[in-house]
Amino acid sequence: MTDYAVVNPATGTTEATFDTFTDEQIEDAVARAAAAAVSWGATPPAERATVVRRIAELHRERRDELAEIIVREMGKPVAAAVGEVDFAADIIEFYADNIEKITADQPIDILGEGTGVIRRAPLGALLGIMPWNFPAYQVARFAAPNLAVGNTIILKHAPQCPESAAALEAIYRDAGLPDGGYVNVYATNEQAATIIADPRVHGVSVTGSERAGAAVAEVAGRNLKKVALELGGSDPFIVLSAEDLDAVVQNAVDARLDNNGQSCNGAKRFIIVDELYDEFVEKFVAGLAAVQAEDPTNEDTVLGPLSSLAAAERLQQQIDGAVAQGATLLTGGTREGTFFAPTLLADVTPEMDVYREELFGPAGVVYRVADEDEAVKLANDTPFGLGSYVFTTDPEQAERVANGIEAGMVYVNLVLADSPELPFGGVKRSGTSRELGLLAADEFVNKKLIRKA
């Protein structure tokens, strides 16, 4: 038996299975990664940059193969899958380009005689526990900065992404990393806990659900290991004013349906000021209803299936439960297997379960508010704090709202604007760390003080 299998969500067909590693294989992986950390950490940054840049090049050379795997594993539309691989390559290249900056000594202004610097040194072997929703991108944003600073990677991918896991390991190996520089493991949760506890492993990063993050953090805490958490979100999309409401609505549709609605930082709660509410909702419902869930292998497909039947059934339960508790279904709410129609709820109150839940699929909730203050209060009334979106024609209002929102990221008058140089992460139950940008390279390093007379 194995938990690692490619089950095509569009067809329900099991296309491949992979054996879970034995304990002996896990031991070998940890030993190789720990050994490689010695030589890789001592490799000059410029030489590491050459290898990291080759990893990016191989992503581009194998983009079609990687994209096809992603479509099979989690149902992402093929055009979006190709875009994901390209973005992963951009991220990896960013760290090759900036390796001197992220590894350079940081001088300190000494209050007295002598000198002092902060020198960043790698920690060693790290464990990454990755999710299924972005099989290539998620790995790139963890692995690239850590390889650049001289750490090595043990990678446990999601059980439904074993083919991506193997293809990515081949890329990292073929790029010229030392044996053990990047090691894929088909590990159980229990084996992952063993890896975290191993003294040769110096940190763990997990991207996934609150439950997964809490479980990993508990093990890491018991073993005094640094842990980075990137977890869920229920991002607000606030509309306070608009010169072109049609454009704002299209941004809302795009933000909700991106990645089949399965993005942690996808807009999920639409908070609309009273004077725009009725027109916005009319246009938003029409925009969502115009999109059909279709075969993800078609080049023009915008919305594919959810990643699994279990995910579709979970979303159906949330929508049905909300309606049973008094919410109004404005559009959608139906599915055929894993294909879920774009869905919008209204009249959701704090007493309903869905008020504090994350909807991980093409479904959202719309709220009417009186003014800016009520919008910010509602936006912050959530256990999550990942991303947020603010649409306004008033620059001063944009600054006030951005300052008031409890989130790791605020995007003003735009969506889908992630970029390699922009740090990604949240607060509250959305996580504890940052990936992407220069901040990502500071998560797993020894910021060593060197003080001289």
Q: What angle do CA 103, 200, 229 make, to 5 degrees?
A: 65
Judgement on whether residues 347 and 241 belong to the same structural domain of the protein: yes
CATH code (residue 358) = 3.40.309.10
- In this structure, is residue 268 part of a structural domain? yes
| Beta strand extents in 26-185 (DSSP E only) | 106-107, 115-122, 125-129, 152-156, 182-184
* Each residue's pLDDT tens digit, 271-284: 999 999 999 999 99
Separation between Cα atoms, residue 139 and residue 145, nearest integer Å = 11
Separation between Cα atoms, residue 67 and residue 85, nearest integer Å = 7
Instruction: Please confirm, yes or no, whether 163 is among the known catalytic residues.
Output: no
Task: Please tell me the total count of domains within the chain.
Answer: 2
Q: Which long-range contacts (CB under 8 A, 24 or more apart) does 418-421 make?
A: 418/87, 418/265, 420/90, 420/91, 420/93, 420/94, 421/94
- In this structure, is residue 425 part of a structural domain? no
Judgement on whether residues 37 and 62 belong to the same structural domain of the protein: yes
Bridge partners for 267 per DSSP: 235
> What integer pLDDT is reported at residue 1 of this predicted model?
43
- In this structure, is residue 424 part of a structural domain? no
Domain of residue 436, residue span: 4-231+431-452
- In this structure, is residue 17 part of a structural domain? yes
Catalytic option among 93, 161, 264, 443: 264
> What integer pLDDT is reported at residue 3 of this predicted model?
86
Judgement on whether residues 171 and 88 belong to the same structural domain of the protein: yes
- In this structure, is residue 159 part of a structural domain? yes
Exposure of 33 by Cβ count < 10 A (0-12 exposed, 13-18 middle, 19+ buried)? buried
Judgement on whether residues 10 and 156 belong to the same structural domain of the protein: yes
Locus of tokens 């209204």:
346
Judgement on whether residues 227 and 239 belong to the same structural domain of the protein: no
- In this structure, is residue 221 part of a structural domain? yes
Average pLDDT, the chain: 97
Q: Is the pLDDT of residue 320 over 60?
A: yes
Judgement on whether residues 60 and 172 belong to the same structural domain of the protein: yes
Judgement on whether residues 264 and 397 belong to the same structural domain of the protein: yes
Judgement on whether residues 112 and 240 belong to the same structural domain of the protein: no
CATH code (residue 136) = 3.40.605.10
**Cβ(373)–Cβ(401) under 8 Å?**
no
* Each residue's pLDDT tens digit, 199-210: 999 999 999 989
427-431 average pLDDT score: 96
What is the token pair recorded at 367?
Answer: 């709220």
**2 confidence band (pLDDT: 50, 70, 90):** low
> Angle 23-42/189-197 helices, nearest 10 degrees?
40
* Each residue's pLDDT tens digit, 238-269: 999 999 999 999 999 999 999 999 999 999 99
Judgement on whether residues 203 and 267 belong to the same structural domain of the protein: no
Separation between Cα atoms, residue 35 and residue 124, nearest integer Å = 9
Judgement on whether residues 254 and 357 belong to the same structural domain of the protein: yes
DSSP-based three-state secondary structure for 131: coil
> What integer pLDDT is reported at residue 313 of this predicted model?
97
Instruction: Please confirm, yes or no, whether 264 is among the known catalytic residues.
Output: yes
Judgement on whether residues 268 and 195 belong to the same structural domain of the protein: no
Q: Does the reported pTM lie above 0.75?
A: yes
Judgement on whether residues 335 and 413 belong to the same structural domain of the protein: yes
- In this structure, is residue 147 part of a structural domain? yes
- In this structure, is residue 426 part of a structural domain? no
Write the CB contacts of 97 (distance below 8 Å, at least 6 apart in sequence): 49
Catalytic option among 169, 230, 372, 443: 230
